[in-house]
Structure 1
Amino acid sequence: MRYFFLFLLLFILSSAQSQLCTGTLGDPVVNITFGNKNTTAGPLRPGITNLGYVTGCPIDGNYSITNAAFGCWGSTWHDITKDHTGDDEGRFMLVNATNAPSVFYVETITGLCGNTTYEFGAWVANVLKPSSCSGTGTKPNLTFTIETTNGVVLATYNTGNIIEDAQLTFKQYGFSFKPPITASSVVLKITNNAGTGCGNDLAIDDITFRPCGPSMSASINGVLGFSNSSCFDSQSNLLLNMTIGSGYINPSYQWQISTNLGATWSDITGANSTSYTRIPTAVGRFQYRLLASESIYAGVASCKTASLPITIQINNSAPRIGNQTINQCIGGKVDLISASGSGGNLTYQWTGPNGFSSNLKNPTLPSIRSGDSGTYIVKAITTEGCSASDTILVKTFKAISGSYNGNSIICLGDSLLLRALGSYQFEWYNNTRAILSTNSVLRTKPTDTTQYQLVFRDIAGCFDSINIPVFVIKPPIVDAGPNRNILIGSNTTLLGSISGQNSGFTWFPVFNMQNPSSLTPLVNPIINTTYSLMAFGINGCSIVQDTVQVRVFVSLNTPNSFSPNGDGIHDIWLVGGLETYPNSELTIFNRAGQIMYQSKPYFEGWDGKFQGKNVPIGVYYYIINRGNGEPLLSGSIYLIR
């Protein structure tokens, strides 16, 4: 009866622990991934498994450590293209089990903390196809056992039969256990319970041990949740609080922060309670988490569990242009200008006198009346909901007549000359409402398209204003394309491109060019030729050009003999056409392989001498490197005198 009770207690304990952690998890203490392209491939350490190690598809009682498996056993196994995690050439353990139940994996796990709950997990796949073995294949059936180093069973879990899937599928099996207070190591055993028969083949990957702690729930300023979003200019202190479930006797806490989406975490100095007050920061996404452990393990990372991260998003403020005053005579037009965002994803809400409203960015009052005087308010709203308001005070006055002359379309680099007309006082403003001049003439040199405002004032105090858009035409960007190399008699395509505004282009010279009206004409020059691509700016602005060189290589003429006897006929062995290859090299050898002559780059032929003395009559050999990536040329020369 005593033994039955002990067995029943162990069964109940095993069943209760045969589940994954339902609280909070720490970072993996142990993560057995079987390696990837950055680690050395090969068998497991001696003593871990009783199976034989092979490469390729294992036979019964053997295993391999591999990153893929194809066509195993007449394609009765699934083709496996990657491991469970999808690491770069990540590996897994591929097992063709023995024909009898056995413990096939034993490993001592170190670095644990006593009296700390851990979650064990492993990802397993049945590699047999459902149609294999006439549809009655033996299913892998695994038992995971955690023992102390002296053999006391702490927890055990049975997977049951692991069925085949239409597509290879890794499934996680796991459970929780707690080592004794004095234990820092445990022994993991994996038993295959299946017997003989066709099948019983599996892949296993990512065996992990992670500390498992009580559940943690977050609140931000008293509101349950793990996220908060604020605008930069409306930030306030945020009280982050974590409610911890039961489980710790004497807990230790540490808040951490990450600014790279959890890739790395840093401790926050002095943040050692369940609450943390966050002060305003710069724009960005910030994540906070709380680490927890028993106090005796406060300095041991492998004993700590971590809450889910609390994400605080600080968004850019909506832009403001600043409060403005617009003076306009009755009957004149008023352009209401709002701020622009860097991305342009803004919405606008205008309100003003006489029930005025608009959702346009820059609405217009086409003919202002005295009743249109007053304050206009525009609210710019970002896609994240941040908003900012500007105020425009519109004042109406008895109409006066003001005008200006000057060219409002200029080329980049040209000076702008605008002249106000009439017997008034003048004020010139740029697009940021900074005053530029009080003279009748505005001279400036803008570098980009902009807008100026000219304000007229008469002696009676009437105002008029004109918004003057100025368009700055930038020159086009011209690229004639990469230089080209061709053999004489062949052709090549030029790869010209033009970006920016332009009124047309031309190539020159156009001889030996097909379709010169295209940016990619076909050319077949017979000599080295430099082509220019010229683009014309719009409105008579800059002409920009770029050049491309087409180098023409001729076919080589390599004589098979010469007679350096001083009679003026064939005294020099010349390679016709090689001079057109600027990086060419000519080397001449005797039968013994001794270099008789070398010219690099080639610029003249061989006079049949070596170190100033005539060489003997006979056969010599040459190697020509044209220096353009084409194969070397070689042959023989007969020297006669």
Structure 2
Amino acid sequence: MQVNAQECKGGLGDPIINYDFGSGTGFGGPLPTSVTNYNYVPNTCPGDGEYTIANSTRGCYDGLWHDVSKDHTGNPNGYMMVINASNNPGQFFKKQTAAGALCPSTTYELSAWIMNLIKPLVCDGTSGRPNITLFIETPAGQVLKRYETGDIQPTETPTWVPKSIFFTTPANVTSVVVRMVNNAPGGCGNDLLLDDITFRACGPIVQASFAGTEGITSENVCEGQPATYTIITKFAEGYTNPAYRWQRNFNDGRGWVDIQGETSSTLHVDFPPSSIGRYQYRQGIAESSNISSLNCRVYSNPVTLEVGPKPVVPAIPPATVCEGDVLTLTATGGDHYSWTGPGVTATSQNPLIIPNVTVAQAGKYKVVVTSAAGCQAEQYADVTVNPKPVITISPLQTICKNASTTLTANAPGAVSYSWSPAVGLSSTNVANPVASPNITTTYTVTIVGANGCSNTAKVMVKVIDKPTANAGNDKKIVEGQSVKLEGSAEGSILKYQWWPTDYLDDPTSPTPTATPPYDITYTLTVTAANSCFIANDDVSVRVYKKVVVPNTFTPNGDGTNDTWNIEALGNYAQSTIGIYNKNGQQLFNQVGYAKAWEGTYNGKPLPAGTYYYVIDLKNGSPVLSGWVLLVR
């Protein structure tokens, strides 16, 4: 009887026939002659009517075949049957089940994976396609079922195609022969790969899981931890009178074995403190009359209990550090870590790093180490924190340049001293060196205590150099005016003092206001800090007499006010004076004022009237200008 392709949509039993051709390197050995009537060759690219067992094909027939680097499961070392079909149809595969291996009225599936090796454009796209008939027969040759795959089309890339058929055994059949026969001729095309030919029971899907966690098929428990689980199953209809057998596989080489007495739909598993390993369970189901035969059952998915080891955590050596140092504790042996300790809340940091550790953080630290499977182990570390020396050091020292001072540092239990920089010190490894620096210097002392811990302290020696005094630029004023002196100094200054103090508003200020009535020289005396040095500088104040210009005179010969007498102008020997009429004509011009103007021009009296003057004292002061009235 010929049928269309049928695939088991339910659960499957363990294979009764299982040809995966094995795995390895190089070529696999030939199949028994009872399995195939093709000729075996140890060649990656067999010829017409030949086959090989190999884990790859590469470079065959100038690239007409696909290059295949792994079997249908993806195993690069997995063998498969490489077939170059003969010109005449032939038998690829034949295998008989053991006598009595099958149960009557039980459904079985025959399946295989097939690949067309020929690329699509070979022979102008008309290459022969693999076409295979799957037979299920009685040992006497009676055909119980057959299925023709039809042409298996070429593909652009290597593509595995599953083909299968299933049937139900008649009441008197307990053994069958399965065959795969080539329907198409060889020549250009009809070259193929075969892999994973299986024959096994087919029944309803059986789904197993841990109770209360539907869909969860794997649990982890740690070594030495007791655990109790209930495994449940559910399955679709398919048996008239189903029976159950639970199996276990402890991966100890014995494979799946029945658990005595476990024939219900659920399984209770009590684990005492457990040993490391993988423990698997599954349920077999069949008609009650067939349940005793392993070949008649279909099985659930396996449910796995992984018993993992506790992490092995190496001992953590005791740590001794100094106060203020960085404490580092490192644990190994796990995937996750949780540290706790004095003043440390739980942290996943590993290594545990505590900068600037304090004496209060000495003590016992605990780390909980967790493996990838969630198993935990503990380890401890003892930490000693030695205090650093407590240093008492001199306060700020101020000295005059070329002088010296003694620095003092001490700490209880000190065993060594080290001062830096060494410049200006009498010694660098004593408690009380003499310091004579030329410039202000900060010295650092490092003291090591008896416990090996160190601490540092600093002291500044401020050096007072000779100051520089600057009394400022000389000043010029007119009698009765005031001027601000511009004294300054460089260096560390204690005080300022001007001498004489006459006519100064504040002789201790660097910038006092001076109001002298006559020329005077002031001396600025600057005293450096710490009374180390003094410096002097002078400034002169030139006081010019005030020039009073009268606006009227009467040159009438009466002996009174006959000349234009300008008070104090004679004190300005370099001054110039010019007198003009209203038209701008210069009538009088003189350097200095040795002789007063008598109201004449070229020796002749000028008429009464208003005349105009310009006086330049030549001392940098503003030019004086205005008018004068000549009265006759």
TM-score, structure 2 length as denominator? 0.48
Larger radius of gyration: 2
